[in-house]
Structure 1
Amino acid sequence: MTTIDQTINELEALFGTRVSRAEAVRKHHGDDLSYIPAMLPDAVFFAESTKDVSQALAICNANRTPVIPFGTGTSIEGQTHALKGGISIDVSGMADILAVNEADFDAVVQPGVRRKQLNEHLRATGLSFPVDPGADASIGGMAATRASGTNAVRYGTMRENVLALEVVLPDGKVIRTGTRARKSSTGYDLTKLFVGSEGTLGIITEATVRLHPIPAAISSAVCTFGSLQGAVDAVIATMQSGVPMARIEFLDEVAIEAANNYSKLSLKIAPTLFLEFHGTETGIKEQAETVEAIAAEYGADGFEWASRPEDRNRLWQARHDSSHATRALRPGSANFVTDACVPISALADNILAARADADQSFLRTKINGHVGDGNFHVNYLVMPGATDEIREAERLAARVVERALESGGTASGEHGIGIGKLKFMRREHGPALESMVALKHAFDPNDIMNPGKLGSLPD
């Protein structure tokens, strides 16, 4: 009997039918939304409690069996791929909202709670959880990948919105990091360490997250420009002016064409900004007037307002559907997506260079991004299995990252490392990478937690 068979047998003896060896189940858990071919675990365990996770990890650790945590599978850099087989531990069934502390603006949730579920639960409280990566991801997965999204320019990423965690370590020990207090000066900040660890140090089984008041007034607008340069320069000028934007998103012509086709919009096909203002009626009017004046200086065609909730929702849903919409431009294709984040002053140069590279390539390419914080995404449409197309996308994506690093930026603003970006870790972090490897070994000496990813040295 192999070690993996022994592990699966022990899990089946303890948990019965909640352990599955079915190929369809394994394939779902060894894949994500990326172009990377699926890599299947040997079995999937559906956990229902912290105790379940603790017992399962203790078994896997004793047998040196790899473990891949799984939430909803919406990552896009191969974070849930089972590089070395092993057991996928699915925590989606742990989906209870344990507490909402309205007076303190926080909530305690299990890792399988999805962001839309949490906001629906909060509807009557006047509070919301604003971190919005687009996909209806789980809170545990969002914490593990340090997710952000369209609201990050105002409300921050998961790094700023996770106060405390319950985590099961690789040997099955359960620890708690952080508190519900808004600040602390006691010890290492383990909460921030686990946020963004991509399942390589332990499994998150509970999260305390920060909530925010729903603003009294919200207004959205669409603004088109005569050039990509003008649109991006308007973003830079807006952020430098100090206007407290809630959302400021850039979509290039390809993204707008895709949105029109997929979401049945009728927007002008041109470099475009989607904008949103939060505050009081008077406050958002002043903000909008300031931004409209700035945009006009950079060649904007004027604002098209979406003040009714249904119009705003339709607009932002189209933005969130951008990935699906782009893929629909080339039926059967897959999205090869990269992202980078740069200082705001370097944003125009980086986006223009990415667009110039794309225009000289044979691949259809879309650029969009959460440009208010310097984060942009480049999406290359490739056919699965087309080696020449994937190789070209890899070349172009590497240039995006290399320029970002030269600009003082990072290889990923929100997609994370997974498999796809491990090769850039040495260049971005230098000798600090050895410290990350040492941390990984200290928490996970048997290297069972999502092995071959964060905390590993690239080949």
Structure 2
Amino acid sequence: MSALEHVLTELAEIFGDRISRGEAVREHHAHGEGWQEGCLPGAVIFAESTEEVSAVLKACNEHSVPVVAFGGGTSLEGHVTPSETGISLDLSRMTRILEVNAEDMDCRVEAGVTRHALNAYLRDSGLFFPVDPGGESTLGGMCATRASGTAAVRYGTMRENTLGLTVVLADGRVMRTGGRVRKSATGYDLTRLFVGSEGTLGIITEVQLRLHGQPEAVATAVCQFEKLEDAVNVAVTTMQLGLPVGRMELMDEVQMDACIRYSKMEGYDVLPTMFFEFHGAPAAVKEQVETMESVVDDHNGKGFLWSNNPENRNELWKARHNAFWACLAYRPNHRGLATDAVVPVSALTELITGSKRDIEESGLLAPIVGHVGDGNFHTVILVPPEPDGLERALELDRKIVGRALSLGGACSGEHGIGFGKKEFMEREHGSVALDVMRMMKKSFDPNNILNPGKMLPEVAG
């Protein structure tokens, strides 16, 4: 009997028909939404509580069976790709909202709760959760990848909005980190250690989150530009002025063409475009809009259209969140390889204009879209079906990341490392930092069962 069979036999009484070896279920859990090849897991287990996750990890650790956590399956860097001899542990049924403390503006949820479900639950409370990476992302997965999104420029990322966690360690022990207080000077910051650990140190089952008050007034604005450089410079100037913009997103002309076609956006030209959103009291929002209009005028903007109509706002941000799917629909027989470079905002114009030249020289199609207010942007490199298509795309990816690193940036601002970005880790962090990370991995997971092969490059030789 194999190690996997031993584990499944031990867990059969607890999980019953929530253990699946059916091919369709395993195929669904074989990959995320990225370009990497999938792998059918040996089995899929659907957990419904922290105690059940603990039972799975205890059994798997005893038999050295790999475990990869699965939530919404929306990751782009191969985080959820399992091992064929291991288990895909699905947490999507862990959907309880455990508590909402409206007076203290925090809540606790299970890992399978999506950001959409949480905000629907909070709708009448006057509160909301702002981190919005797109798709049906689960909050556990968003913590694991240190997710971000369009609102990070004002509200921060998962790192800033996570107060505490419940984590199941590799040997099945359950640990709670952090709490409900807004600051603490006690012990190591284990919460921040696990936010962004990508399921390699433990599996997150509950999340304590910071909530925010729903803004009294919200307005959106759109401006188009003849030159991509002018659009990026608007973002840089806005941040240097300290304008408290709620969202600020860039699309180049190729991404706009894709979105116009996919989301049926009427009234827009195929030009570099900036989308803005402003939050606050009505007078404050009006002042922000007027200041932004002045900034846009100084950078050769072609008009500045703004609205406080909720329907217009929802359509605009729906189109933005569907940008990845718009790219795939733009060239139906291509795969999408998403870059995720981030730099200090003062270097953003140099990075984006340089990356645009790299794209043109490559001969590939790669729309640009980004959360430019925090120095982060994406290209969706459309991988052609030719035999050398993937290698050409990866070569372009390396050029863009190389530019970012040379400007003091990072290879990933929000998508994480997984399989896809491992090769850049030593260049970004250095060998000593990687050695420390490996020591931590060994300490938390001595049998290497938790998402093995992800994040940390193997030691050469």
TM over 0.5: yes
Helix, strand or coil: the match of 2:204?
strand
Unaligned segments of structure 1, at least 5 residues: none
Task: Give the AA of the match of 1:446.
Answer: N
After TM superposition, the structure 1 stretch with the greater mean CA deviation from structure 2, 290-299 or 80-89, is 80-89
Helix, strand or coil: the match of 1:104?
coil
Contact map agreement 2:114 2:137 (CA 8 A) in 1: yes
- Number of residue pairs matched? 458
Distance 1:324 1:390 in 2: 19
Matches within 5 A, 1:239-388: 239-266=239-266, 267-383=268-384, 386-388=386-388
How far off its partner does 1:84 sit?
5.7
Could you say which residue in structure 2 is the equivalent of 1:23? 23
How far off its partner does 1:2 sit?
1.6
Q: Deviations over 1:299-348 (max 9, x none)?
A: 10121123200100000000000011111111132211111110001101
Could you say which residue in structure 2 is the equivalent of 1:126? 126
Contact map agreement 1:342 1:408 (CA 8 A) in 2: yes
Distance 2:162 2:35 in 1: 30
Helix, strand or coil: the match of 2:8?
helix
How far off its partner does 1:362 sit?
2.5
Could you say which residue in structure 1 is the equivalent of 2:41? 41
Contact map agreement 1:202 1:449 (CA 8 A) in 2: yes
1:71 equivalent in alignment to 2:71:
yes
Could you say which residue in structure 1 is the equivalent of 2:143? 143
Unaligned segments of structure 2, at least 5 residues: none
Distance 1:371 1:378 in 2: 12
How far off its partner does 1:252 sit?
0.4
Helix, strand or coil: the match of 1:360?
helix
How far off its partner does 1:49 sit?
0.7
Could you say which residue in structure 2 is the equivalent of 1:103? 103
Distance 1:139 1:161 in 2: 11
Distance 2:59 2:456 in 1: 22
Helix, strand or coil: the match of 2:341?
strand
Could you say which residue in structure 2 is the equivalent of 1:412? 412
Distance 2:425 2:11 in 1: 35
Distance 2:119 2:436 in 1: 38
After TM superposition, the structure 1 stretch with the greater mean CA deviation from structure 2, 95-104 or 327-336, is 327-336
Instruction: Provide the alpha-carbon RMSD of the alignment.
Output: 1.1
How far off its partner does 1:455 sit?
4.2
After TM superposition, the structure 1 stretch with the greater mean CA deviation from structure 2, 333-342 or 365-374, is 333-342
1:402 equivalent in alignment to 2:411:
no
Q: Deviations over 1:200-246 (max 9, x none)?
A: 01111111000000101100011101100100011101110110111
Could you say which residue in structure 2 is the equivalent of 1:201? 201
After TM superposition, the structure 1 stretch with the greater mean CA deviation from structure 2, 139-148 or 293-302, is 293-302
How far off its partner does 1:441 sit?
0.7
Helix, strand or coil: the match of 1:80?
coil
Distance 2:291 2:459 in 1: 47
Distance 1:428 1:287 in 2: 37
Q: Deviations over 1:24-57 (max 9, x none)?
A: 1111112011011112211000001111000110
Distance 1:455 1:440, change over 3 A: farther
Helix, strand or coil: the match of 1:8?
helix
Helix, strand or coil: the match of 2:313?
helix
Helix, strand or coil: the match of 1:170?
coil
Helix, strand or coil: the match of 1:340?
coil
Q: Deviations over 1:54-104 (max 9, x none)?
A: 011000000000000111100000000124640111010000001010000
Moved over 4 A (4+): none
1:9 equivalent in alignment to 2:47:
no
1:225 equivalent in alignment to 2:225:
yes
Could you say which residue in structure 2 is the equivalent of 1:449? 450
Helix, strand or coil: the match of 1:113?
coil
How far off its partner does 1:456 sit?
4.8
Helix, strand or coil: the match of 2:103?
helix
Could you say which residue in structure 2 is the equivalent of 1:432? 433
Distance 1:409 1:84, change over 3 A: farther
Contact map agreement 1:200 1:455 (CA 8 A) in 2: no
Distance 2:342 2:27 in 1: 32
Distance 2:394 2:134 in 1: 24
Distance 2:353 2:459 in 1: 30
Could you say which residue in structure 1 is the equivalent of 2:92? 92
Task: Give the AA of the match of 2:332.
Answer: P
Task: Give the AA of the match of 2:165.
Answer: L
Distance 1:387 1:23 in 2: 28
Contact map agreement 2:425 2:456 (CA 8 A) in 1: no
How far off its partner does 1:288 sit?
1.2
Q: Deviations over 1:2-38 (max 9, x none)?
A: 2122222222243211111111111111201101111
How far off its partner does 1:119 sit?
0.1
Distance 1:254 1:452, change over 3 A: same
Distance 1:97 1:4 in 2: 33
Distance 1:458 1:324 in 2: 36
Distance 1:330 1:454 in 2: 30
Could you say which residue in structure 2 is the equivalent of 1:113? 113
Helix, strand or coil: the match of 1:4?
helix
Distance 2:14 2:284 in 1: 58
TM-score when normalising by structure 2? 0.98
State the identity as a percent.
Answer: 52
Task: Give the AA of the match of 1:213.
Answer: G
Helix, strand or coil: the match of 1:122?
helix
Contact map agreement 2:234 2:296 (CA 8 A) in 1: yes
Contact map agreement 1:93 1:112 (CA 8 A) in 2: yes
Distance 1:220 1:389 in 2: 39
